[in-house]
Amino acid sequence: MTRSKWFLHQGRPFEVRDVRVVTSFQIWVYENERPLAQHSAVPLSDVIAGAALGKDVLNGAMEVAVRDVQAGRFRTAPSSMAG
């Protein structure tokens, strides 16, 4: 099951999604249902180990992606809806 986090940044709607790829989860940033770029990846083994300790490693990685977009550490193209 894919998880996502929606948020607004500078009036633009963004979404962070996890995408399972064989033995890892990729963290992707989307705008208006369109993928912008991969932010990071989390090994499945880290997710499993974290769960055994009661930690949601995947959620933590997704939160980092949101903060990186909001802080300007993850570059997004100018809005195509600007006019």
pLDDT tens digits, one per residue of 18-39: 999 999 999 999 999 999 999 9
Q: What are phi and psi of 17, to 5 degrees?
A: -125, 150
Residues 6+ apart with CB under 8 A from 34: none
20 occurs within a structural domain:
yes
Q: Structure pTM?
A: 0.86
82 occurs within a structural domain:
no
Read off the pLDDT of residues 49-59 as tens digits, 9 standing for 90 and up: 999 999 999 99
Domain span at residue 59 reads 4-71
Q: Please name which of 15, 12, 3, 10 lies closest in space to residue 66, comparing C-alpha atoms.
A: 15
- Our count of domains for the chain comes to 1
80 occurs within a structural domain:
no
Q: What confidence tier does 76 reach under pLDDT thresholds 50, 70, 90? A: confident
Show the tokens assigned to 52.
């055994």
